[in-house]
Structure 1
Amino acid sequence: MQRVLSGVSKVEVLSDGSFGVGTRWRETRRMFGKDATEEMWVTVCEAPERYVVEAESHGTHYTSEWGLRADGPVTTTVRMTFTGTTSGGGVMGVLAKVLGGVGARAVSKAIAKDLEDVAAAVEGRAG
């Protein structure tokens, strides 16, 4: 598997077959100075225009949606949205509310870097 995302140190594919609904993997990246491994899975796959990946971690449900739109023979617009919804209960719910801004900034930076990495990889193939 070609390494594209510089923020991801390890990917372990957990499912067989081609990419689609049900594809699962564990992804490890460094967050807040520590390695964090999360299991993710594809819940929607409308190739080649859109796919949705979800994950659960520490009382929060995460959803990442990737949309691709062809803007010409060699140009594509990529749109990525990310949401995190906490269950709101218990210690983790309180921590999520207190530290939400810090976490949101860290996630925003990681997403921006991922998108830069994807753009560089794709533009490198075209050149």
Structure 2
Amino acid sequence: MPNNEIQLTQHVAAPPAKVWSVLTDLDAAPTTLTGIISVERVSGEGYAVGTRWRETRKMLGKEATEEMWVAEVEPERRTVVRANSRGADYTTSFTLTPSGDGTDLSMTFTADADKSSFLAKLMMKVLGGLGAKATAKMMTQDLRDIAAAAEAA
């Protein structure tokens, strides 16, 4: 099964440094991002490669907790967060690009079931459309919330 990818971009009327500060403040995520219920650090302080946390969100009417980790960091330019759940690898990349009076914040989410079991691949195929719509909606709200917090800072 090929990768499933969703990419969205939000213009933020704030410089990359302010956007980066909001984006990488894991401890404030439950108050900044309306879709996050809680964040529990597993390892690491601040925001650096290897930092791990458990993030609880409400999606499709149910609470779900996933363990995530920072895989790449280019301060004020780009970061990559990864997770593995139910036989699929998930990658979320954020790219910050200076643009006019602010920053274009791009978010790309990729789900890869290539290495997963037949059942995981089947579930991804069956639930893919519904899951993709819910994920795109969640991503849109996250980008709006990050923009609002960075613009208010």
Please report the TM-score for the alignment, with normalisation by the length of structure 1: 0.91
Larger mean CA deviation between 41-50 and 12-21 belongs to 12-21
Q: Hey, what does 1:94 align to over in structure 2?
A: 122
| Contact 1:88–1:94 (CA under 8 A) maintained in structure 2 | no
Matched, 1:46 2:77: no
**Cα deviations by residue, 1:81-120 (Å, 9 ceiling, x for unpaired):** 1100113523222111111111111101000010011111
CA distance in structure 2 between the partners assigned to 1:116 and 1:69 by the alignment: 16
Matched, 1:104 2:132: yes
Aligned AA for 1:109?
Answer: K
**Cα deviations by residue, 1:28-82 (Å, 9 ceiling, x for unpaired):** 000111100000001110112110000001111100000112235x511111111
Aligned AA for 2:137?
Answer: K
Matched, 1:71 2:94: no
CA distance in structure 2 between the partners assigned to 1:124 and 1:71 by the alignment: 18
Q: Select the residue among 108, 112, 115 that pairs with 1:85.
A: 112
CA distance in structure 2 between the partners assigned to 1:113 and 1:88 by the alignment: 29
**Which has the higher relative contact order, 1 or 2, with Cα contacts under 8 A spaced 6 or more apart?**
2
Structure 1: gaps spanning 5 or more residues: none
Structure 2: gaps spanning 5 or more residues: 1-26
Q: Give the CA RMSD over aligned residues.
A: 1.3
Q: Hey, what does 2:144 align to over in structure 1?
A: 116
